[in-house]
Amino acid sequence: MKPSNFKYQLLFICSIGLFSATFAQNQPTSLKEAFKNDFLVGTALGAEHILEKDAKANQLIKKEFNAITPENHMKSMNIHPEWNKYDFYLGDKFVEYGQKNNMYVVGHTLVWHSQLPRFVGKIKSADSLKLFMTDHINTVAGRYAGKINSWDVVNEAIEDDGTFRKSIFYNLLGEDFIKMAFDLAAKADPKAELYYNDYNNEQPAKRKATIEMIKKLKASGTKIDGVGIQGHWSINSLNTKNIEDAIIEYAALGLKVAFTELDLTVLPNPWDLKGADVNQNFENSPKMNPYPKELPDSVQTTLAQKYEELFKVFLKHQDKIDRITFWGVADNHSWLNGWPVRGRTNYPLLFDRNFEPKKAYNSVMNLKKNNPNL
């Protein structure tokens, strides 16, 4: 070999090595980094996360996510257990957690028909219910004014067929309770973004009704900044066309779109349940709990493929989407282990029970690693 040729080959090899090292250094190492130019990536926190009781979970949350939602502790049953009593301990800790870690903080939720304090169920008059709503929203949203980035103001007010849910709020106040809630929230915390949040609101009938409701709110001068699509879906029936249509139609109203409670169940659903009605529960059986110990590799692959399909849609419309929040940190912290069948073992998230990334995590991350211009 001639010395000159050897020199050029050595330079070529060194150049390849330098390029590979630089490429590796430039690859994103977390969800929040990978999608930093597209949308926020969040997770729902339980009390154990807020209080930092698990070091591995805490490390994962801080590494991967830049937005947080309280799973349960800001719902009225917990934060307002009695008419003249509030419990702000976990709410305060939650907000502190977000602030010290420079995270986008979501308040969830101000008005919801479920997980209400017992005393609310005993209310019989419209005036008393208005008094509760006024005091609750003024007190809770007012306490965190300037510290919460967005509120899920009203949660799940519309049924799948497009009619209003016959909740205590609707039965006593009619659909005006929605406007009332948003107006109170806007006054209590003028800086917070205000969202309407629901499940199945990507499906045509419910989407149409939601759009009509939002148009009425906006026409009346009520402040509403965004719509939250919960995203409790199944790997067996994921409909990306409905999801994409919903993104486009909600954004056309001048609203931000967020996917607020994302998870994909891998378990059978013989009742064809959709969404997230927490009052539904059914008997467990081996047939309904096929993976009690671990998820087969074939199902891991399907889950990864479905998450990849979803995130391709999200990236296509990243200009319209503000946030993607997973409903849980890891598989051990998922409400789907107990719904709609108690005692099942589900695997709906990107991290397993040991807080390790799954194939689904890699499929989502590879969208950006392999296509940085997406």
Within a domain: 18 = no
Q: How far apart are CA 67 and CA 60, in angstroms?
A: 13
pLDDT of residue 222: 98
Cis peptide before 340 (omega within 30 of 0): yes
Within a domain: 279 = yes
Within a domain: 66 = yes
Q: Mention every residue, 6+ apart, whose C-beta is less than 8 A from residue 176.
A: none
Do residues 201 and 260 make contact, with C-beta atoms less than 8 angstroms apart?
A: no
pLDDT of residue 240: 98
**Structural domain that includes position 181:** 29-370
Q: How far apart are CA 105 and CA 96, in angstroms?
A: 10
Within a domain: 2 = no
Q: Mention every residue, 6+ apart, whose C-beta is less than 8 A from residue 370.
A: none
CATH number at residue 228: 3.20.20.80
Within a domain: 94 = yes
DSSP type of residue 165: P
pLDDT of residue 371: 77
Q: How far apart are CA 87 and CA 117, in angstroms?
A: 12
Within a domain: 134 = yes
Within a domain: 338 = yes
For the chain, residues with pLDDT lower than 50 are: 1-3, 18-23, 271, 276, 278
Structure tokens at 154: 């009203």
Q: Identify the burial level of 24 via C-beta atoms within 10 angstroms of its C-beta, where 0-12 means exposed, 13-18 middle and 19 or more buried.
A: exposed
pLDDT of residue 287: 81
pLDDT of residue 270: 57
Active site residues: 156, 261
What's the structural domain count of the chain?
Answer: 1
Q: How far apart are CA 110 and CA 150, in angstroms?
A: 11
Within a domain: 341 = yes
pLDDT of residue 370: 83
Give residue 146's Cα distance to chain centre: 21
